[in-house]
Amino acid sequence: MDMAKRITVALAGNPNSGKTTIFNMLTGARQHVGNYPGVTVEKKEGLCKYKDYEITLVDLPGTYGLTAYSTEELIARNFIIDEQPDVVVDIVDASNIERNLYLATQLIEMNVPLVLAFNMSDVAKQKGLLFDIEQLSRLLDAPIVRTVGNKGKGKTELLDAIIATAEQGKEHRAHRVGCGEEIEEELAAIEVVVADNEHELADKYGTRWLAVKLLEQDSDIAAKVHSQQVLDAVKSSSEHLKGIFADEPEIVIAGRRYGFISGACQETIESTVESRHSASDMIDAIVIHRALGLPIFLILIYLAFFLTFKIGEYPMGWLEQFFGWLAGAVANLWPAGSDSSLRSLLVDGVIGGVGGVLVFLPNILLLFFVIALLEDSGYMARAAFIMDRIMHKIGLHGKSFIPMLIGFGCSVPAIMGARILENRRNRFTTIMVIPLMSCGAKFTIYMLIIPAFFPDKWHGPALWLIYLIGIVLAIICIKLLRLTVFKGETTPFVMELPPYRMPTLRSVCIHMWQRGWMYLRKAGTIILAISIILWVAMSYPKPSQDSLSGLSPEQAQQVRLEHSVIGRLGKAIEPALKPLGFDWKIGTALIGATAAKEVFVSQLAIVHAVGSHEAGAVEGADEPGGGGQTLRQKLQANYTSLTGFCIMLFCLIATPCVATVAMTKQETRSWSWALFQFFGLTALAYAVTFIVYQVGSLIMG
């Protein structure tokens, strides 16, 4: 005969959830009542024999959480940490589920082998609550058993679940209760300091849990910490977070736990009778409504983009004027008619390059402001919730949607924004396709091409189509990536629904600024450097003076460019670009666009020998150039509308700009992924444009 296998099980649960009833149901008369060491809190232990197991059950004090505020909660949590029971059973009052699951989130945070008993399931049924137990169990990463304690229902199912969990042993959970980007960043920082300075505590409690408790100002854990570094780190993190949230970190973290629960319940519990009351729930009833949710979301996003561009036009105009003035002022430092390289470098290279990018800053800041507003108020979580069902179909998490949305502004902060995805596969897949979202810089290219080649009434639809093509391609790429390099199951995640909050201006501005700063830095460093390199490549080697004699300034500029490194490169790749309908001039501009997509427009102006003053006239196309033609007229004269469309298509898909490549490298911590993205997208662009051009040429004869 086998020896009985012994396991220890702790019963946790809110007061009145039916813990004692379940305890009695399992142990019958085999009970022993004592006290927890040092305190007069009753400790009941009992024995239960089942199959070939001898199960020792311990009835923990009833608690709502596992803080250090009350003796009961401390006892419960110390028992779990010190005695390491094989399984913790959380008795949940299923008729009052959201409140009861709070304790469960804390047990999940402690990473204990957990079984959930949904007790009072008879009462829950009377209340009209319908559970999708399987899905909820996947989301919480713990088996769930329905019980009716006072009727003895669910006993064997509960015991089977206990044994299965005990046999499985301690495994790492697939997911955890996330605390949001800012808090997660601080937690990660604290974890590092804790791991370095408090080895014993880190071994016993785990760094993550310690970091959470320290941020929550848990007095019991704080008293155990000796290292001043740790205390200092916690203090500075906590000050930082207070500045952002205007609230104690522990309150924000508790809000996150409720958000986690709320999200999990929204997805898995249906109520046949109306019983939700809080303001948050009432807003959610409309905002994430099955039919209304998506239209509301689309309208909000449309408004966000519309306002961004409408309001942004004014400061953009001022900045354009400012840079125009600056270029003129700098140029005037040299005597009229002189041909100084330094002047050209400063005016055309530096001011033209960096200024061309900086004029979009107001637009981008506004977009980030709106996005931060949506995020901080809690709406973005709802947007992710709505998108989750759709995103799941293509193998991603609803949250991936947020960085993609930011991608319509600029890929650089968008790739950074992908940090909200905890799962590496999801995060990398998202990062890879973000450049397919038409960013603000690509928008300038569309604004040049569309009016040149499409009749008025087609402007809107053409723009819409090109954005849509990006999205559709992104979906196809995600599918492909998930089938190949990022193969693997998508684990179901809880879509958190944190309570709605009034966003603080300070926090919204911090968010806006952090992302805006990334953009500014890109302009100040990478784009500055590339602008200078491009300028050199465009200016040297110089043709001989005789070859320029008798030419207009514009024609001379064109000859110089043809003679330069870039012009030659453009010509060298011309054979490869022919099948796409591009000539060397477009090739030259495409090379320039690698620095920043905006550069495409100014490069194209130069190769077509359009005076620099008309080149900037992207908005007012009909403005008569001094005797010459505007860039749009030149384009119309030289290319077909099919080529025009192919230019947009290629610019949309190909070669993410250097700033994007740099950011991908930073966020994936690998050059291979950055290069994979760069060459993969370029190859895709080539293939798609090739097909469109060839098929298009056939059809159009």
CB of 162 to ligand GDP, least distance (A): 18
* Structure tokens given for 694: 């060839």
Q: Residue 343: exposed, middle, or buried by beta-carbon count in 10 A (0-12, 13-18, 19+)? A: middle
Cα–Cα distance between 648 and 643 in angstroms, integer? 9
Task: Give the per-residue contact string, 78-117, with ligand GDP (x = CB under 6 A; - = no).
Answer: ----------------------------------------
Residue in 162, 158, 166, 165 with CA at minimum distance from that of residue 21: 158
Comparison of 8 and 20: residue with beta carbon closer to ligand GDP:
20
**Which residues have CB under 8 Å from 295's CB, separation 6+?**
none
The letter for the amino acid at 212 is V
Q: Give yes or no for residue 144 binding ligand GDP (CB under 6 A).
A: no
| Stretch in the footprint of ligand GDP (CB under 6 A) among 120-128, 175-183, 309-317, 480-488 | 120-128
Residue positions counted in the chain: 701
Q: Could you give phi then psi for residue 521, rounded to 5 degrees? A: -65, -40
- d(CA 359, CA 42) in angstroms, rounded, equals 70
Judged by CB under 5 A, which of 8, 20, 227, 491 binds Mg ion?
A: 20
148 binds ligand GDP (CB under 6 A): yes
Output 148 or 366, the one with its CB closest to ligand GDP: 148
Nearer to Mg ion (CB atom), residue 61 or residue 498: 61
Query: Of residues 7, 10, 19, 103, which one binds ligand GDP by CB under 6 A?
Result: 19
Q: State in angstroms the smallest separation of the CB of 59 from Mg ion.
A: 7
Closest by Cα among 21, 182, 35 to 89: 21
CB nearer to Mg ion: pick between 48 and 354: 48
Which helix (DSSP H) or strand (DSSP E) does residue 444 occupy?
helix 440-453
602 binds ligand GDP per the rule CB under 6 A: no
The answer to whether 15 contacts ligand GDP (rule: CB under 6 A) is: yes
Rule CB under 6 A: is residue 119 a binding residue for ligand GDP?
A: yes
Cα dihedral across residues 674, 676, 677, 678: positive or negative:
positive
Task: Rule CB under 6 A: choose which of 54, 98, 122, 141 binds ligand GDP.
Answer: 122
Residue in 530, 528, 546 with CA at minimum distance from that of residue 538: 530
398-412 burial: b if 16+ Cβ within 10 Å, else e: bbbbbbbbbbbbbbb
Q: Kindly state whether residue 20 participates in binding ligand GDP, applying the rule CB under 6 A.
A: yes
Tell me how far, at minimum, the Cβ of 56 lies from Mg ion, in Å: 18
* Least distance in angstroms from the C-beta of 16 to Mg ion: 8
Q: Which does 149 bind (CB under 5 to 8 A by kind): Mg ion, ligand GDP, none?
A: ligand GDP
DSSP letters for 221-264: HHHH---HHHHHHHHHHHHHHHHHHSS-HHHHHHHHHHHHHHHH
Q: Is 61 in the site for ligand GDP (CB under 6 A)?
A: no
Nearer to ligand GDP, 15 or 460 (CB): 15
Phi-psi category of 120—alpha, beta or left, where left has phi over 0 and alpha has psi -120 to 50? left
Give the nearer residue to Mg ion in terms of CB position, either 20 or 504. 20
Per rule CB under 6 A, is residue 13 in the interface with ligand GDP? yes
> Which residue number places its CB atom closest to Mg ion?
20
Residue 40 CB, nearest distance to ligand GDP (Å)? 18
Q: Which residues bind ligand GDP (CB under 6 A)?
A: 13, 15-21, 62, 119-120, 122-123, 148-150
Query: Where does this chain bind Mg ion (CB under 5 A)?
Result: 20
